[in-house]
Amino acid sequence: MNDQLRAQFPVLRTGVYLNSNSTGAVPQGAQDVLTRYWETLCTWRDDVWMGWHDGLDRYVASLAAFIGAPPGSVVTDANLSTLLTRIASCFDYRAPRNRVVTTHLEFPTVPFIWNAFRRYGARVDVVGAGGPRFDEDALAERIDERTLLVCVPHASFSSGATIDLPRLVKRAHDVGALVVVDAYQSIGVVPFDVTALDVDFVLGGAHKWMCGIGTAFLYARPDLLPRLEPAATGWQAGDRALTFQPSTGWADGAQRFAGGTPFPLTALVSQVGLDLLAGIGISTIRAHSLACTERILARADAAGIRVVSQVEPERRGGVVGLDVPDGEAVKRRLAARNMICSWRGYLRIGPHVYNTLDEIDEFMDALEEELQGFRG
């Protein structure tokens, strides 16, 4: 990847940074946004809010274009938990269609939220009893006419395993269930077209592969929106919010999933990274990601390190999960050498478009040195 692109990411000057699946690098241009925001705070005027709302609207429109979503079908908020709870609050969990099917490879917030809705009648069915990969046959079998919602990650946060979304969406829709996809670990590094996939809800966020900070987003299928009324809500979801008069109904489109007064800074900062990624193009990003992860896989195979992620290019996400002894301690020792990755039960290596194959080799050299002690 070219030096001009790499120069835009200050964190790359500090070492080998392969941690975009956990906390992505933020481009230098974000500093200008932060400076302007601070200058605004120093000279406070109420009318700056209209400019901030324009910035929020631009970010939402850019997100929609990036994931192939129609205008008006995307909304942002602070985090995935907030937005998933709003989705959950739209539904009636009376039997017989009251089951929520999910998987053991979801990020812990997801089953935690669905378990909270047991008090309203939700029956939560977590498929899988361990292991780094999805049991897709078991998932398909558990989705039936009692299923209200299927909530799965596109890629596992722990192992990097991906799921066959077209198969899952077809199975769910065949029995009348809706699909909620947690794409936090894929959008920004893997092509993702919400319209082509025919998914019902998609959740993602800025601070991993999308080179932003602290903001999440929700896509909702446009034809579903008129009948969705979140019980967890806020004044910005109303049809007269910016008139400061009592709303008489819901805002148009996905804005009905908005909450209270927004915090604009995170979207303004995240716009910088999103513009950069959109300018490169997701096809170029994906090709470079596959080249980087292929190098990791080849080095791991040569070193006898067990790979827990899927290796097929069409099923490979952006992160490679490695099963190494005493992995958390290994991660810390690598960090002391300015080799940055993460550990969530497996060692996770997440190169992005700003990384190089030379960095992959440098990292894998260091990893092999750290593992020598375990092999005598």
Question: What is the chain's mean pLDDT, rounded?
Answer: 96
Q: How many residues does the chain have?
A: 376
If one counts every other C-beta atom within 10 angstroms of the C-beta of residue 346, the result is: 23
Please list, in sequence order, all residues whose beta carbon lies within 8 angstroms of the beta carbon of residue 289, skipping any fewer than 6 positions away.
189, 190, 318, 351, 352, 353
Q: pTM of the entire structure?
A: 0.96
The tens digit of pLDDT for each residue in 91-116 reads: 999 999 999 999 999 999 999 999 99
374 has pLDDT over 70: no
Cβ(240)–Cβ(246) below 8 Å = yes
pLDDT tens readout for residues 276-300: 999 999 999 999 999 999 999 999 9
Lowest mean pLDDT among 126-135, 196-205, 206-215: 126-135
349 CB contacts (<8 Å, ≥6 apart)? 18, 296, 319, 320, 321, 322, 341, 363
Residues 75, 60, 243, CA angle at the centre, nearest 5°? Answer: 70
Summarize the confidence of residues 315-324 as an average pLDDT. 96
Reduced to 3 states (helix: H, G, I; strand: E, B; else coil), residue 11 is helix
Residue 376 predicted with pLDDT over 60: no
